[in-house]
Amino acid sequence: MSENKQGKILIVDDNEDLLKAAKMYLKRHFAQVDIEKNPEAIPGLMNQEDYDVILLDMNFTKDVSSGSEGYYWLEKILQIDPSAVVVLITAYGDVQMAVKAIKAGATDFVLKPWENEKLLATLFSSMRLRESRDEIETLKIKNQEINQSINEKYSNIIGQSAAMQRIFQTIDRVAQTDANVLILGENGTGKELIARAIHANSSRKAESFVSVDLGSITETLFETELFGHKKGSFTDAKEDRPGRFELAHGGSLFLDEIGNLSMPLQAKLLTVLQNRKVSRVGSNKETPIDLRLICATNMPLYDMVKENRFRQDLLYRINTIEIQIPPLRDRIEDIPLLAGHFLKHYAGKYGKTVSKISDAAMARMTKHPWPGNIRELQHALERAIILSNSSVLQPEDFNFNVVVNAKDADQSMGLDQYNLDEVEKLLIRKVLKKYNGNITQAAAELGLTRSSLYRRLEKHGL
């Protein structure tokens, strides 16, 4: 028996002794167990409570054995709540009645007198089904709200540069197809925004957009996160759980940082993409999946293929269409637009009177290399607005000193002549020194996630 009981159960049966016995047993396992002998009370009870499982008798006193009353109330319950989970009970069950009940919308079917352990297992299984339905429905609702908030086609993507206009044109052509898309670009360039724009302009926009950061998933959790698991399949598997592939069924699945996958995990992912079926960990049952796959990475996949660090067949599978997002330093005409957007957002968020960026500050911003791209620009604006006491942001409100220090490192070279990797290594070393090795603060300063900074530290041997 669980100490942290969960779940609300409603039992409807005309046998008072059965109701009392069932409640006495089940209340030890569930947070709430309501009983009712009169099925006419079902609508009122459902309006008052959101039940996880309704245990419904098929035969009441008016109709002893046909089960017609059970079918009638099953239909009424599903009219009130189409996602309701109903388990039908009867003393006169047979295969035909069970099949008819399940076709009519019932989740399961039990015979009375029942065995307590079997009844409990059925209810727990049905409750997990309700949780999965609710989770998927929540994702759909959240996704619909995101779509409804978009007044313009690409209002979440800010950019008027020729490079961004070409990307918008590509999205227009690609979105209505189901072609797999690979988005390439440095960290902080807005790869997920592009992925969401593709989904929002596709025929799948009413379904879920499920995002997975593969860089943050360990090898041991990869299968259970993406493919799901069955209860008891490993130590902490206390319930059945759908994976991200199942949650994205009918919609779009965004796999960010796909270049971080090891070769064994690449093989597992390729198998699923080829077969369009997933099997939860601990189960041999295959579940068909229908989704739009969008992947992204900041890593050089083509070089990795040559070095045998990325499977060529997987690359071919994910890049039917390829979109390359330019770094911010290559679209400097978009910097004033982006800066203005973040200025308005953070001034409102923090209740500040900052309303303008000085020409001198803007000039410095357009010359800054922004190794962290848009994310770095965003954090720079947020920091400046928080710390500023003026209505106009000045150059001193921004932390441009890391670039000055980088240039001072070698007076014989201009910043535009630096090897990009060397500049990145130098900047990371300077910022780490500034924060005494604090990864969280250094990552925020550079506009990177902690995991991204760790990868760069490993890359540069820092």
Domain ranges of the chain: 8-128, 150-324, 328-460
How is the chain split among helix, strand and coil, in percent rounded to 5?
50, 15, 35
pLDDT higher than threshold 60 for residue 153: no
Q: What are the strands of the beta sheet with 86-90, ordered from one edge? A: 32-36, 8-12, 53-57, 86-90, 108-111
Whether the upstream peptide bond of residue 113 has omega within 30° of 0, thus cis, is: yes
User: Bridge-partner residues for 352, per DSSP?
Assistant: none
Tell me how far apart the alpha carbons of residues 462 and 432 are, in angstroms, rounded to a whole number: 10
Question: How many C-beta atoms lie closer than 10 Å to residue 112's C-beta?
Answer: 16
pLDDT higher than threshold 60 for residue 285: yes
Q: Which residue has the higher pLDDT, 299 or 426?
A: 299
* Cβ atoms of residues 55 and 84 within 8 Å: no
pLDDT higher than threshold 90 for residue 157: no
- pLDDT for res 421: 66
Q: Return the closest-CA partner of residue 46 out of 9, 5, 21, 14.
A: 9
Specify the fold of 328-460.
Answer: Helicase, Ruva Protein; domain 3 (1.10.8)
Please list, in sequence order, all residues whose beta carbon lies within 8 angstroms of the beta carbon of residue 140, skipping any fewer than 6 positions away.
Answer: 206, 207, 208, 251
- pLDDT for res 4: 67
> pLDDT class for 448, splitting at 50, 70, 90?
confident
pLDDT higher than threshold 80 for residue 146: no
Round the average pLDDT of the chain to a whole number and report it: 84
For domain 150-324, the CATH superfamily is P-loop containing nucleotide triphosphate hydrolases (3.40.50.300)
Sign of CA pseudo-dihedral 56, 57, 61, 62: positive
Average pLDDT over residues 37-49: 90
Domain 150-324 in the same topology as domain 8-128: yes
Render pLDDT for 166-219 as a digit per residue (tens, 0 to 9): 999 999 999 999 999 999 999 999 999 999 999 999 999 988 899 999 988 888
Tell me how far apart the alpha carbons of residues 187 and 257 are, in angstroms, rounded to a whole number: 10
Backbone angles phi, psi at 41, to 5 degrees: -85, -5
Chain position carrying tokens 């020729």: 162
| DSSP-derived 3-state class of residue 287 | strand
Q: Which residue has the higher pLDDT, 462 or 354?
A: 354
pLDDT higher than threshold 80 for residue 408: no
Average pLDDT over residues 69-89: 86
pLDDT higher than threshold 80 for residue 371: yes
Taking domain 8-128, whether its CATH number is 3.30.450.20 is answered by no
Average pLDDT over residues 230-254: 86
The model carries a pTM of: 0.61
| DSSP-derived 3-state class of residue 139 | helix
Cα 356 from chain centroid (whole Å): 35
Write out the two tokens for 351: 């209740």
Q: Which stretch of 135-139, 380-384, 395-399, 448-452 has the lowest confidence by average pLDDT?
A: 135-139
Chain position carrying tokens 């189409």: 82
Question: How many C-beta atoms lie closer than 10 Å to residue 261's C-beta?
Answer: 23
Render pLDDT for 374-389 as a digit per residue (tens, 0 to 9): 999 999 999 999 998 8
- pLDDT for res 66: 58
Q: Which residue has the higher pLDDT, 110 or 43?
A: 43
Measured CA to CA in angstroms, residue 344 lies from 314, 354, 400 at distances of 42, 8, 21
Render pLDDT for 54-72 as a digit per residue (tens, 0 to 9): 999 887 765 545 557 778 8
Four-CA torsion 420, 422, 423, 425, nearest 10 degrees: 120
Q: Which stretch of 128-132, 346-350, 373-377 has the lowest confidence by average pLDDT?
A: 128-132
Tell me how far apart the alpha carbons of residues 23 and 25 are, in angstroms, rounded to a whole number: 5
